Structure formats: C-alpha cells, structure tokens
Chain A
Amino acid sequence: MNAALPASLLSRRSLLRTAGLAGAALMVPLSGCGAPPAAQNGVTTLRFMQNKPEVVDHFNEVIKDFEALNPDIRVVQDFNEGNFVPGLVRNDPPDVVTRGFAQATADFVKKGIFADLSDMPVAKTIDPKMQELVNSWGQYNGTETSALPFSLAAAGVIYNRDIFEAQGVSVPTTWDGFVAACEKFKAAGIAPIYGTYKDPWTLAQGMFDYAAGGALDVGEFFTKLNAKGAKITKDAPESFANSFGPALPKMLQLASFSQNGAASKNYADGNAAFAKGQAAMYLQGPWALSQLVAANKNIRLGSFPLPVTNNPEDTKARVNVDMALSITRNTPNMAAAQRFVNYLLEPSVVNTYNEKNAAFSPLTDAPAVSNPQISGLNAAVQEARYFQGAVTYFPPSVPVNNYIQSFVYSKNGEQFLAALDDEWRRVAERTAV
C-alpha cells in the first residue's frame, strides 16, 4: 500500500478533477433548460394549476377552445397541487391558480401571494354574495380581491327519490318534518341516514356543520372568536361552549337515525351502500353524486338543504367555494393570465363547467340549475341562504374532526366544546403576534 501511495494520490487528484469537470459539465446545459422562456416566437406560455384531478379532461377541452381563440397564448395545465408551495419557493409559481377556498388558501391570500383582481371587468359579473364568501376569509391590504369564485359546491341531504316516493314521504322543510320522515323510514325498516363514522371528515362536514350552520351564524361566530384571540375562555360569550350548545342535541338525533354499524363504515363503503339503496338519505355534498352514479347508473337522486329549525325560511345549505381563480402576483405574464381568467369566467364556460359538475355558477345572472340531483338546493343558493362549514374555519393544527368523532361516540357535549375552546386558545396563543 505504501509503495503505491504516490500513484494513488495522483490518481485521486485526477479523479477529483474529472469529477469536478463532469459535475460542471452536467450543470451548464441543465441551467440553460431550467426555466423555459415564457415567450417564444410571440407565443406566451401560461401555467394553469387546477385543484381537481377529476376535471382535467374538461379543462383540456376548455384550454383547446381558448387557444384556438388566442393563438398567441399556450396554456399548460397542471393538477399536481403539491407543487404549488415548491413553485413559490422557487419563485416561479404557476400563473393562474384555482384552489378550494378555505383556511389554507386564506393563508396565501394574507401573505399577498395573489394579485388584486378587483379591477378586472369580469369581477363585476360575479354575484357579490359569493364574492363575499371568498372575501370573508380576509383580504390582502383590507381591500384587494385575491380570488374570483369559479364554482360553488352546495351540500345538503342527498336523498333517494325512489325510496321517498315508495314511502310517500315528501321533502321535509322543517326539523319536525325531517324527524317525522326519519321515523317513518325507520318504522318501514329502512335506515333513514347512511352514516360513515369511520371517516371523521364525513361527520364533520355532515351532521356537525349542518346542525351548527342551522343553529347559529357560523361566519359571525368565527369573526368574533378570532377578534377575541388568545383571550378566549369557555365562560366568554364568544366561546364554543356558549354558542354551539343548541346544535349538539340535533347532531346526536341525526346520529341516532344512522344505520346499525355506522361506526365501521367509511366514505367509500357509504357510497357503495347508498347507491344500492340501503338508506333513504346521505349527509353528503355534490362530490358524492358522481361516485353514487358510477356505482349505480339507474339511481334517482335529489338534494335538499337540511332544515334545522321549524321555520322553513331559516333553512340553509352548506357551501364551499370549490374552485376560486387567482393570478399570482409576480407573474411575468399578467396580461395573458388576465385574458385566460376572463375567458374562464365567460358565461358559456363557467356555467357549462358548473352544470356538468353538479355545482353552482358564481355569475349574478346564471340560469337556475336544471340538474335534478341538486335542483333542490336552488332556492337556498339563489336567496343566499347558505353558510361555510364551521369545520373549515379551524386551523389544521386543531384535530376538530377527531373531536367530533369522539363526541358522536361519547355523547359528552360539555367535554367536547370545552376541548374546542382549549384547542382554539392554545393555537391562538401560539400564533399571536
């Protein structure tokens, strides 16, 4: 070994040199092709990140039509939403983004990631009440419009029309009517509601959000709660303990109408069973409709907003802005991005998308929804009798869905609400500035 030392030293040095050269050679051409120039031969390439993998095909068609009308713009669609934050880190985010609008997106808005769209002419065509759903999450600088709603999902009770007709039950408009309908199904040996407790989110968006949304003004409650911040205690009038109380007995009553063994069923089980007619009602939103029809193409479905009081005027639907359009603030292709957003919000484009996907168009003069699966929610949406689900206001660091699940099993409402107050204060203390 010692005799060979000079030789090995020499070759080690030359080896390092070769490795260094090879490394440099690898980097140079790559850095050249890293970020393709946005404008090539006068054609601007837009990157469009869209948050719903199941509608990729639809948007490919939309993009094809757009490119035919705008030959100077090429649009590349990306459904890999996980790449959004890396895009920001790279300082090279997509130009046009759609996102489901809730807590997580609101965080981006507060940091000024998205451009102000309030000056765009299409912003005036949007129903102000739906725009308010987006703005209520907070506006950058207090006035900016960071996102324009594109699709509104309204959730209520999905019901099996055949079972309702066979039992002679009409769509209930009051809580008492709803309970009577459930009793009737139960007496006939039909499970009134299909419960899927194994997936806690189904309990959260279903019975918890519906009962809470009917019992109190959810948006106002969280505005006050946020204003109170870390000073919240369970004795304060703004607390969960003092506001959500009336909703809980109704929630437990809903739970008591679930089929036996609901605790061991998940969302996929629920879709399969409900499609086979194993229950009369299903507390799910429009996203379940395509799954139900896929499992049984002959099923006749309808939806109605769950009445939580005995005044039909109070009945509200749970909505969420399923897709909201934004343009990233630092995009080098602002003009092209605005033209694309304008095109997407043309009535023919946005109304067609929503009609096809069992959702509601955000345009003020959108035609009434004709899809019988969701037409029962028409009145509530048109009269703006809707709320955003209470669970969507929780920061991800509060495992609210699991608290709801454990409440449904333990039925201990006091403990449940006290836990929510504690969790809220804990997070507020930690994030207070």
Chain B
Amino acid sequence: MTASTLAASKHLTPDAPARSNRRSNREGFRINWWLTALMLAASLTVLLPLYFTVAMALKSPDQIGTGTGLAWPNPMNWDNFAAAYVATNFPRAFMSTAFVTVLSVLGSLASSSLVAYAIARNWNHRFFRGSFVYLLSAMFIPFPVIILPLIKQTALLGLDNPAGVVFLHVLGGISFNTLLYIAFVRSIPVELEESARMDGATTWQVFRKIIFPLLAPMNATVGIFAFLGSWNDFLLPQMLIADPALQTLPVVQMLFQGEFNTNYSLAFASYLMAMAPTLVVYILAQRWVLSGVMRGAVK
C-alpha cells in the first residue's frame, strides 16, 4: 500500500514547486485520484500473492483446505519455518546459492563491461562489429536446446558443480549485458578518455578509473538482472550439479512437491526464506534499477 502511494506522489511532486509559483498552491498539491487508484490496483498484483505466501507459510496442514484461503491463520504455525529450515538443510543450500549468485554477478559485471568497452571503442574495426553480432546471435539460441551438450562438456572439464553454473551464468549473460553496456558506453564522451591518455593513462587505467565508475547505473541494472537470474535459476543447477550436497535452493525446494503431494505450508515457508535476500537486494537497489533502465533506454 505504502509503496504505491509513494510512487504516485513521486510522480506528481517533482514539477510541483516550479508550477506553484504561477498556479495556486492548492492545485500544485492536488492528488490525482485516478492515478492513485490505478497504482493501488496495480500494487495488488504484487501484494496479494505476497500475502498468500506469508499466510500459507504460517498455516498448519488442516488450515490450508479451509475457507477461501484469504483468512489469516489462527493460531499461526511458526514451526513451518524451522521444519523447512531442517528439511532443506537451509544453511548449506543457501551458501551454495549465494556462492553461485555472488560470483555470477561479479563475473557478469566484469566480463560484460570489458567486452562492451572493447567493442564500443573499436567500432570502426570490422572484427569488433562482427564479434558484436556474434555475441548478439547467441540470444537467438534457446537454452534447452544446448543443455545436454553443455552437461557433457562441463562434465569433461570437471565443472559439474556450482562453479560450472557460475561459468555458464556469466557466459549466458554476456550477449544481453553487452548490449546494455554498449549503448551506455557510446554515450560517454571520448574526450574524457583522451584527456586521461594525455596524462599517460593506459587503456586499462582508462577503463578502471574513468569508464567503469561512469558505468555505475548500468552496473546496477546488469547486477540486478544477474542477481535475479542466478538466484532464481532452477534448470541449470538441477541438470548440471552432480553432487546433491552442493545443490542450490530452488532445486532443494522441490523436496516439498511430490508427484501427487505438495506440502504447501513448508513449501511456502521455504520460499519465503529463499525470497528474503532478493527482497532485501531489491529494496536497497531499486533506486538504481529504475534510473539505470531509463538511461539505457534513452541513449
């Protein structure tokens, strides 16, 4: 609820002070009720499923089948979290998922920004233009088509473990992330680099000290895409990681879904625990996500 009103008021306030000089004060603070109502309705699409998740996680099995499902469970069954924690061996699965995610994010940021910088600044070379098209063409290959060969190759390289998942996440993200970065690097004036070179900076120093810091909004965008994609990925870890002890959270959570039986309360308790880091990261980073997306889009 608060998020939506915040968003609605944000939309209205920026130009309000400027206008208020000429128009009446009352008009400047007028609330656009239609827009607010729309935002309220839109926020329900997020809040309602979230409510169900929380309510479900607190229900005992016999509370699940009763009523419409909207009712808040009474008494609340906090034991679900403990049971899900033990059943999934949460700390171990969490560490494995965190390992995959952190390295994927760092790897995506480092590799894609370097590639994008190289391509954008060498656009006059046919080789670099070609390599850009080559990287982009990877986006047209559906992932399930190549999964079995990938499994074979990673096994031969000894990468049938979370490190292999990191490697493929970074690799798989390069085409899209490079696309985002290149658009952004082009908007950075070359003069900035030239002045650095006058002072004797090498290409690496130019990239490290000038370009990379200027890429910050795009880094946030790419980092968040990489984080979400990596944290929530199911298929790749499921197929690739051979040792069940190293399996990631989304796969371990399959524990609660049998062919004919689903343990809804434990499943949702476990989903909530797995969602927590994503929520925290989003709340902390949403400022940069939005600004980053818009910058990339306009320039």
What residues of chain A have their CB less than 8 Å away from a CB belonging to chain B?
A: 1, 3-4, 7-8, 11-12, 15, 26-27, 30-36, 52-54, 56-57, 76-80, 82-83, 85-87, 89-92, 100, 267-268, 271-272, 275-276, 285, 287-288, 290-291, 294-297
Chain B, 244-299, CB within 8 A of any chain A CB:
244-245, 247, 251, 254-263
A-B contact count (CB 8 A): 120
- Can you report 5 residue pairs joining A to B where beta carbons are below 8 Å apart? A27-B158, A30-B161, A33-B161, A34-B160, A92-B155
Task: Given contacts A30-B159, A54-B261, A79-B244, list 5 more A-B pairs with CB under 8 A.
Answer: A4-B197, A34-B155, A76-B244, A89-B152, A294-B61
Docked CA distance A90–B259 (Å): 26
Decide if A1 touches B61 in the complex (CB within 8 Å): no
With A8-B203, A11-B204 already in contact, the answer to whether A80 and B62 are too (CB < 8 A) is: no
Docked CA distance A204–B268 (Å): 30
Q: Does B157 contact A (CB under 8 A)?
A: yes
Name the residue on A nearest B235 (C-beta). Answer: A82
- B260: chain A residues within 8 A (beta carbon): 267, 285, 287-288, 291
How many interface residues does B have (CB within 8 Å)?
46
Decide if A31 touches B158 in the complex (CB within 8 Å): yes
Q: Does B240 contact A (CB under 8 A)?
A: yes
Give min CB distance, B171 to chain A, whole Å: 12
Decide if A54 touches B158 in the complex (CB within 8 Å): no
Give min CB distance, B118 to chain A, whole Å: 8
Decide if B238 touches A287 in the complex (CB within 8 Å): no
Name the residue on B nearest A287 (C-beta). Answer: B260
Against A, the Cβ 8 Å flags (1 = close, 0 = not) of B125-144 are 00000000000000000000
With A27-B157, A31-B158, A53-B254 already in contact, the answer to whether A92 and B61 are too (CB < 8 A) is: no
Decide if B239 touches A31 in the complex (CB within 8 Å): no
Decide if B239 touches A82 in the complex (CB within 8 Å): yes
Give min CB distance, B26 to chain A, whole Å: 51
Docked CA distance A247–B255 (Å): 38
Q: Does B202 contact A (CB under 8 A)?
A: yes
Docked CA distance A85–B190 (Å): 52
Decide if A15 touches B204 in the complex (CB within 8 Å): yes
Decide if B151 touches A268 in the complex (CB within 8 Å): no
Q: Lowest 8 A-B CB distances belong to which pairs?
A: A34-B158, A31-B158, A272-B65, A287-B260, A90-B155, A78-B244, A294-B61, A295-B65
Chain B, 140-189, CB within 8 A of any chain A CB:
148, 151-152, 155, 157-161, 163-164
Q: Does B242 contact A (CB under 8 A)?
A: yes
Decide if A53 touches B244 in the complex (CB within 8 Å): no
Decide if A287 touches B261 in the complex (CB within 8 Å): yes
Name the residue on A nearest B200 (C-beta). Answer: A7
- A271: chain B residues within 8 A (beta carbon): 65
Q: Does B64 contact A (CB under 8 A)?
A: yes
Give min CB distance, B25 to chain A, whole Å: 54
Docked CA distance A275–B254 (Å): 25
- B244: chain A residues within 8 A (beta carbon): 76-80, 83
Decide if A86 touches B159 in the complex (CB within 8 Å): no
With A11-B204, A291-B261 already in contact, the answer to whether A76 and B245 are too (CB < 8 A) is: yes
Give min CB distance, A391 to chain B, whole Å: 14
Docked CA distance A159–B66 (Å): 21
Against A, the Cβ 8 Å flags (1 = close, 0 = not) of B193-204 are 010010000111
- B151: chain A residues within 8 A (beta carbon): 86, 89-90
Name the residue on B nearest A100 (C-beta). Answer: B259
- A57: chain B residues within 8 A (beta carbon): 87
Decide if B62 touches A89 in the complex (CB within 8 Å): no
Docked CA distance A8–B207 (Å): 11
Give min CB distance, A131 to chain B, whole Å: 23
Give min CB distance, A106 to chain B, whole Å: 18
Name the residue on A nearest B166 (C-beta). Answer: A26
Docked CA distance A294–B59 (Å): 12
Name the residue on B nearest A49 (C-beta). Answer: B244
- B256: chain A residues within 8 A (beta carbon): 53
